[in-house]
Amino acid sequence: MKTESTPDEAYFDRNQAFQAMAVMARKLGYGVGTIIEDPQWPTLYIDLPTGQVSAHIPADELLGVFSPYSGQWDGTGVEEKRERMKDYILGVKQIKPRRGWRR
The verdict on residue 30 lying in a domain is: yes
The verdict on residue 98 lying in a domain is: no
Quote the number of domains for the chain: 1
pLDDT, residue 64, reads 79
pLDDT, residue 43, reads 98
The verdict on residue 101 lying in a domain is: no
The verdict on residue 103 lying in a domain is: no
The verdict on residue 44 lying in a domain is: yes
Q: How many CA atoms lie within 13 A of 76 on its CB side?
A: 20
The verdict on residue 74 lying in a domain is: yes
Contact 4, 47 (CB under 8 A): no
What is the domain extent for residue 28? 7-90
The verdict on residue 95 lying in a domain is: no
**What pTM was estimated for this model as a whole?**
0.85
**How far is Cα 59 from Cα 36, in angstroms, rounded to an integer?**
10
- Evaluate if residue 97 carries a pLDDT over 90: no
90 or 101, higher pLDDT? 90
**How far is Cα 36 from Cα 13, in angstroms, rounded to an integer?**
21
Would you give the distance in Å from CA 9 to the centre of its chain? 19
* Nearest of 16, 18, 77 to residue 51 by alpha carbon: 77
pLDDT (average), residues 68-92 = 94
